[in-house]
Amino acid sequence: MGRPVVHFEICVADYPKHVEFYSKAFDWKIDDNNPMHYGMVTTGGEGGINGGIMKAEGFIHPYLTFYIHVDSLEDSLKTIESLGGKTVVQPMDIPGVGRTAFFKDPQGHILGLFTPAMKG
């Protein structure tokens, strides 16, 4: 069975401008009322996925990526590297949400992996 895309992320230099742009252009609901001020995007489309928007600052540059659900970040990164990809961010925790890591495919595209936190 294939691994689904479960989240997209847009990182922008001008956060307020892009929140307004995406919410008006696509009628997305964007809620950044959380401790990280991360804009949680609800697309509302049937069969679509939700995502997030955040401000590029410090060492984080603007980017666009999506996250793929996997059972094991470590095992997936080993497979990716054996196929010519490269780990760019080692697995890290997102408290209360799960774990993530980033990799480059052989062409240099950066994508995310995601494993949700265990419930219960």
**Mean predicted confidence (pLDDT) in 35-44:** 92
Q: Give the C-alpha separation, 61 to 63, whole Å.
A: 6
Question: Helix H segments across 1-120?
Answer: 15-26, 73-82
Q: Are 8 and 67 a contacting pair, CB within 8 Å?
A: yes
pLDDT in tens, 40-57: 999 997 888 999 999 999
**Mean predicted confidence (pLDDT) in 9-14:** 95
Q: What is the pLDDT of residue 100?
A: 96
Q: Are 87 and 81 a contacting pair, CB within 8 Å?
A: yes
Q: Which helix (H) or strand (E) holds 5?
A: strand 5-12
Q: Are 82 and 66 a contacting pair, CB within 8 Å?
A: no
What phi and psi, each to the nearest 5 degrees, are found at residue 78? Answer: -60, -45
The residue type of 2 is G
Q: pTM for the complete prediction? A: 0.86
pLDDT, mean over the chain: 93
